[in-house]
């Protein structure tokens, strides 16, 4: 399992089990002492912010550097399952998995994403937003955990950045100025940014066309 490969490189809570009660799913996992980045980012100074971003960049590189377990390239969820991205919910035909050397093109054709450059497939968290990054309490915080891996899978390489840029943090903690600063100054130091014209805007058109 990919999470075992990330042990010691990315702090991921250990999941002990899950159950469903009254239509709600409850997950039992190890206790992590930390606060969502979303809630404390405004209080951090510049050096603390840069240190957190540098640490996150190393973690992102760790999971994007994983290799697919199968010989045949595919775009899809873990263990050759369909993708579970919320942006694909209600569109089962777009979730794959798509196999073969042209897996990315098959996925993009299905989604009507007009990206003409060659794109690799990498392991992707797919919900790397400030609420899913836990920081240790106190001064000089470090990343205590990356949580909410339910949408993770093997996606085109641009998906992580595009999704993180599109999803807005809670405005209770991130006002417009802080959100703009996060997207323009800090997010590009965590994730490799993509070109707006050739990648982000075609991806965004897909999102908007699906009413997301």
pLDDT of residue 212: 67
Q: How many residues does the chain have?
A: 212
**Cβ–Cβ < 8 Å for 87, 163:** yes
Q: Hey, what are 141's tokens?
A: 């915080």
Q: Which CATH number fits domain 33-209: 1.10.540, 1.10.3470, 3.40.720, 3.90.1200?
A: 3.90.1200
Rounded to a whole number of angstroms, the CA Rg of the chain reads: 17
pTM for this structure?
0.90
Q: So what's the pLDDT on residue 121?
A: 97
Give the chain's mean pLDDT: 91
Hey, which residues does 48 pair with through a beta bridge? none
Per-block average pLDDT, block size 10, for the chain (212 residues)? 80 69 62 88 97 98 91 91 92 90 96 95 97 94 93 97 96 94 97 97 93 69
pLDDT tens digit sequence for 55-78: 999 999 999 999 998 778 999 999
Q: Are 191 and 155 in contact (CB under 8 A)?
A: no
């Amino acid at each position: 399992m990919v999470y075992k490969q990330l042990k010691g490189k990315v702090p991921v809570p250990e999941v002990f089990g899950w159950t469903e009660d009254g239509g709600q799913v409850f997950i039992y996992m190890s206790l992590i002492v930390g606060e969502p980045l979303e809630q404390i980012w405004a209080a951090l100074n510049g050096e603390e912010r840069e240190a957190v971003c540098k640490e996150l960049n190393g973690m992102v590189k760790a999971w994007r550097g994983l290799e697919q377990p199968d010989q045949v390239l595919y775009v899809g969820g873990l263990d050759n399952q369909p993708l579970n991205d919320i942006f694909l919910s209600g569109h089962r035909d777009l979730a794959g998995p798509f196999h073969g050397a042209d897996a990315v093109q098959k996925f993009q054709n299905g989604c009507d994403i007009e990206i003409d450059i060659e794109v690799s497939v990498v392991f992707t968290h797919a919900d790397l937003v400030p609420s899913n990054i836990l920081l240790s309490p106190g001064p000089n915080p470090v990343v205590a955990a990356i949580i909410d891996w339910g949408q993770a899978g093997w996606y085109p390489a641009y998906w992580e950045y595009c999704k993180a840029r599109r999803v807005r943090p809670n405005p209770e903690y991130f006002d417009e100025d802080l959100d703009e600063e996060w997207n323009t100054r800090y997010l590009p130091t965590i994730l490799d940014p993509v070109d707006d014209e050739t990648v982000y805007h075609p991806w965004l058109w897909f999102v908007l066309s699906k009413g997301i």
